[in-house]
Structure 1
C-alpha cells in the first residue's frame, strides 16, 4: 500500500467520489427510497438460516449513522473502500471496493449502484475507472474483480467499458434478492505489477 490516507475524494470529469458523511443522510435515504424497486433485483440480502428469526435479521440492518461509521472505519483500516457518487450536488449512487487482500494475492472486488435517473450516462463506468485507478496506484493491487448477475446487462456493459475481462461463472455466489444467485466474474489486472 502506498499512501492510503482517509478520507480522500476522487475527481473525474463528470463525477466525484467522496465518503458518505452524516449530513448526507437525507439525500442518501431519498435516493435509496426512490430506487427501491429499481435496485432490489441486484441488492445483497441476508440469507435466512434454519433456526433464525427473519425479524431479528431485519433488526441487524445498520442505521445510516452506524453505516457511515462502519464504512469509514473499514476504509481507514484499508479493508474496504466506499464512496458516494456525486454529480454536481446530487448524490447519484455508491461504489465500494471490498475484500481487499494484500500479501501474495493483492486483490479486491468492486460493487456499485446508481440512481435510475442517472443510469446509462457513463457515470458508473467513470466511478469504476476512478476506483480501479485508486486500487492499482494507491493500494498497489494486482487484480480487481466485478461480480455481477448474468441478467444484469447494464452492469456487464459497465464492467466491459471499464476494461474488465470475463473470467468465468460463479454458481450460487451471493445471496441476492432472497436467494443464492449465479454471477459472472469480470477481472482487470494491474498493468504496472508483473
Structure 2
C-alpha cells in the first residue's frame, strides 16, 4: 500500500509508527490522507466543546475551519511542510479508526535539531492512554529515525489532562510563557515543557512505558 504522498525525503519521513496496545485499543500513527476528510470533520465538529478551549482561536468560525471542505487545504499544507522537511504530521488511529492528530512542527536542523510537538485526541478517546501512546511513539521516532535532539511542547495551566500526558512521557517543565497564544478568544498563559534525546535514552519512551505497565507492544 502506498503512503499518502510520495517524494518526501528527509530523515524520518514518511513513516508509520506503532502499533502500541493501551486500554483504549491499538494505537498507531500514519501520514494524513485526503480521504480522511469525512472522519476528521465529523470528529472535530462533534467535539467542538471539548477541543475549543485548548486550540488557537478560530477567527473564521469553528464550523468553517473544520468542515469537510476545509480538510483538503489543511492536508495539502501538511503535505507541503512534510515534503520540505519542516514538519512530521501524523493521524492518530485507534483500532484503525481516526482518533486525532499529532504533529511535529517548526523542525530546525543544523546544530539545533529542534522542533515542537502538538496533538489533539477525540473526546471519546480522551482516556485509555491514547495521547500518551501517540506522544511516546513520536518522541522515540524524533530522537531516532528523524535525528532530532530536542522537543518542546506547551499546554495551558488549566489543561490538567495534557499536563499529565506530558509528565508521564517524561517531558520536564521549563517555565511559563505569559499571554503566549490566542486561545478561545483571549491571550492565554502556557506552560513550556521540553525533552532532549539524552533524557529519552537509552531504552526509549515506548520501552519505558511497556516496562511500567502502561502499554504493550503489538
TM-score interval (norm. to shorter): 0.7 to 0.9
Aligned to 2:44: 32
3-state DSSP of counterpart to 1:138:
coil
Are positions 1:43 and 2:50 aligned together?
no
The 8 Å contact of residues 12 and 146 in structure 2, kept in 1 or not, is answered as: no
Are positions 1:81 and 2:88 aligned together?
yes
Deviation at 1:5, TM superposition (A): 5.7
Cα separation, 2, equivalents of 1:179 and 1:89: 36
Cα separation, 2, equivalents of 1:114 and 1:59: 20
Aligned to 1:19: 31
Aligned to 2:172: 165
Aligned to 1:114: 121
3-state DSSP of counterpart to 2:146:
coil
Question: Which residues in structure 2 correspond to 1:139-154 (within 5 Å)?
Answer: 139-154=146-161
Cα separation, 1, equivalents of 2:160 and 2:13: 33
Cα separation, 1, equivalents of 2:65 and 2:134: 29
Deviation at 1:7, TM superposition (A): 3.0
- How much is the aligned-residue C-alpha RMSD, in angstroms? 2.4
The 8 Å contact of residues 17 and 85 in structure 1, kept in 2 or not, is answered as: yes
Alpha-carbon deviations, 1:35-80, whole Å to 9, x = none? 111000001126xxxxxxx669x98998211111110111121101
Runs of 4+ off more than 6 Å: 58-62
Cα separation, 2, equivalents of 1:157 and 1:60: 28
> What TM-score comes out, normalization by structure 2 length?
0.77
User: Number of matched residues?
Assistant: 184
Alpha-carbon deviations, 1:128-163, whole Å to 9, x = none? 111111111122211101100000000000000111
Instruction: List gaps (5 residues or longer) in structure 2.
Output: 1-8, 21-25, 202-218
Change (3 A) 1:40 1:60: closer
Cα separation, 2, equivalents of 1:123 and 1:146: 17
Aligned to 1:190: 197
Cα separation, 2, equivalents of 1:154 and 1:60: 24
> What TM-score comes out, normalization by structure 1 length?
0.86
Instruction: List gaps (5 residues or longer) in structure 1.
Output: 47-53
